[in-house]
């Protein structure tokens, strides 16, 4: 009897051991079928592209505080209501209101009096020139080089920051982040040395005539001096002219100004979880954009993809087990007020946030996701990589997620950034060239499907 019991126990163990891989395979097959449904729906009936067409064509650039930003809020609310979500609502948030004013002008004037026009645009948040600002120019490659210059070399001049993005990085976002200090802090650091203005080489690897705007920061108790971005072609030309004539001057004219803060909103829509409604997964993009273009890739694509995640889940009948929210954040570009307010309200309400995903890298071909979480959580998400490889979006790496969801960091188990091909993004980023015609429908819809697939798995299995 004892030997029989031992044989029976060993036999059952063998059966269970054999059944475990079969069960796992069956589950993987079920997940694969569900994900295929999401991609099929997106490719056959996706609505991200047409929603983006309306947002960019009928509303256009949506700088915080503008009438276009307010129109975009109402548009986002209507789109999500039409999806038929369980709840759609607005979150009030106060935002900065900076206006560019008339088109900026800049001209180089040499010792012989000849003028050459430069393609420039004011950096977001800059003060105006109060007429025309004319001064000699000194070129530097970095904040460190500026700090090392004698005071008399800088005082009364316009500092020209001409460090290009590093072309050797395959990941262009790394090059952008590294070169961005001169845009963010250049004017303040120049003012500390007695400069009267700042010109900054556009943050782009492309060589063209489009100046790239972007936010800059002043410091308390430091004189606010005008700051403008030069197109990369303009920066190269100015640099060459300075070598030939170090005494040349630049005449700059900008009428931008900072107006009082104004009321705006985040737009939120959600599907309640069927099993764990108290656990929340957020997915979003930022509704505001700079004013030079249509805000297509930055970040109209992220907004339309985030709303599409909810539509895809509904259209395929894959009701999430945990609550999924789409959030259109306001004011990412020059303040992050929307992301901060969303996190504040979530904490005040005692909400349990499981994960947050952001799409803010353009609507190009999907590549995968970056995950900010404890190593064990990162590994759990990475275990789903094989399900995404057939769709070209199987690169799951630990790394930064996104600006708008960063304020949630202490409240969630994972912050996730949607990644797409980045090689063309900074050619148009923050420029007049960021328009609807630069977006490919299939690339955009594939991205929304990739996001929906990962949201579906997190909703089903948790973290």
Mapping DSSP to helix (H, G, I), strand (E, B) and coil, where does residue 417 land? strand
Band the pLDDT of 20: cuts 50, 70, 90: very low
| E strand or H helix at 3 | helix 2-45
332 is catalytic: yes
pLDDT tier for residue 9 given thresholds of 50, 70 and 90: very low
Q: How confident is the model at residue 27 (pLDDT cuts 50, 70, 90)?
A: confident
Does residue 299 have a cis peptide bond before it, meaning omega lies within 30 degrees of 0? yes
Q: How far is Cα 458 from Cα 282, in angstroms, rounded to an integer? A: 11
Determine the pLDDT at residue 25.
77
Give the dihedral of Cα atoms 447, 453, 455, 458; nearest 10 deg: -150
The model's pTM is 0.92
Residue-wise pLDDT for 408-445, tens only, equals 999 999 999 999 999 999 999 999 999 999 999 999 99
Q: Specify the length of the chain in residues.
A: 463
- State the catalytic residue, choosing from 332, 358, 372, 445: 332
Residue 350, Cβ density class (10 Å: 0-12 exposed, 13-18 middle, ≥19 buried): exposed
Return the percentage of the chain with pLDDT > 70, whole number: 94
Given a cut of 50, whether residue 4 has pLDDT beyond it is no
For residue 115, what pLDDT band results from cuts at 50, 70 and 90?
Answer: confident
Residue 63 three-state SS: coil
Q: What percent of the chain is helix, strand and coil (3-state, nearest 5)?
A: 45, 25, 35
Q: Residue 46, SS3?
A: coil
What's the pLDDT score for residue 111? 73
| pLDDT of 349 over the 90 cut | yes
Helical H segments across 365-440, by residue range: 375-382, 385-388, 425-428
Q: Identify the pLDDT of residue 24.
A: 61
Element (H, E) at 135: strand 132-140
**Which percentage of the chain shows pLDDT scores above 90?**
92
pLDDT score at 15: 34
Average pLDDT over residues 280-284: 98
Tell whether the model's pLDDT for residue 288 goes beyond 90: yes
Task: Give residue 377's pLDDT.
Answer: 97
The sheet that has 366-373: what strands, in order across it?
A: 87-99, 257-271, 322-329, 276-286, 352-358, 414-420, 366-373, 395-398
- 152: cis peptide before it, omega within 30°? no
pLDDT score, position 28: 83
Residue 22 in this model has a pLDDT that exceeds 80? no
Whether residue 240 is predicted with pLDDT greater than 80 in this model: the reply is yes
């Amino acid at each position: 009897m004892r030997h029989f019991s031992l044989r029976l126990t060993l036999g059952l163990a063998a059966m269970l051991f054999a059944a475990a891989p079969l069960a796992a395979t069956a589950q993987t097959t079920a997940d694969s079928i569900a994900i295929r449904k999401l991609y099929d729906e997106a490719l056959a009936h996706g609505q991200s592209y047409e929603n983006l067409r309306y947002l960019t064509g009928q509303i256009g650039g949506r700088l915080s505080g503008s009438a276009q930003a307010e129109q975009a809020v109402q548009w986002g609310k209507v789109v999500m209501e039409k999806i038929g979500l369980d709840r759609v609502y607005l979150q009030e948030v106060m935002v900065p209101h900076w206006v560019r004013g008339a088109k900026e002008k800049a001209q180089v004037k040499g010792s012989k009096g000849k003028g050459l026009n430069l393609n420039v645009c004011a950096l977001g948040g800059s003060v105006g020139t109060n007429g025309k600002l004319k001064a000699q120019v000194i070129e530097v490659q970095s904040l460190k080089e500026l700090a090392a210059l004698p005071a008399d070399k800088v005082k009364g001049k316009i500092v020209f920051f001409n460090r290009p993005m590093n072309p050797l990085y395959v990941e262009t976002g790394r090059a952008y982040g590294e070169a961005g200090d001169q845009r963010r802090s250049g004017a303040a650091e120049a003012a500390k040395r007695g400069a009267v203005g700042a010109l900054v080489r556009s943050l782009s690897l492309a060589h063209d005539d489009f100046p790239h705007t972007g936010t800059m920061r002043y410091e308390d108790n430091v004189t606010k001096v005008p700051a403008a971005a030069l197109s990369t072609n303009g920066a190269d030309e100015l640099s060459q002219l300075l070598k030939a004539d170090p005494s040349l001057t630049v005449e700059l004219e900008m009428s931008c100004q900072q107006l009082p803060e104004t009321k705006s909103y985040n737009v939120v829509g959600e599907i309640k979880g069927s099993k764990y409604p108290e656990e929340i997964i957020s997915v979003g993009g930022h509704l505001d954009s700079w004013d030079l273009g249509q805000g297509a890739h930055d970040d109209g694509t992220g907004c339309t993809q985030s709303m599409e995640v909810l539509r895809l889940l509904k259209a395929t009948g894959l009701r999430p087990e945990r609550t999924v929210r789409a959030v259109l954040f306001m004011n990412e570009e020059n303040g992050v007020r929307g992301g901060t307010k969303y996190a504040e309200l979530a904490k005040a309400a005692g909400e349990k946030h499981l994960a947050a995903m952001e799409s803010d890298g353009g609507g190009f071909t999907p590549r995968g996701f970056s995950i900010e979480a404890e190593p064990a959580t990162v590994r759990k998400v990475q275990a789903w990589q094989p399900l995404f490889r057939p769709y070209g979006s199987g690169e799951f790496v630990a790394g930064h997620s996104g600006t708008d969801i960063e304020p949630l960091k202490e409240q969630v188990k994972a912050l996730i950034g949607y990644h797409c091909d980045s090689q063309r993004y900074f050619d148009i980023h923050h420029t007049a060239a960021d328009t609807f015609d630069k977006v490919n429908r299939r690339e955009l819809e594939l991205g929304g499907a990739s996001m929906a697939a990962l949201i579906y798995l997190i909703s089903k299995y948790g973290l």
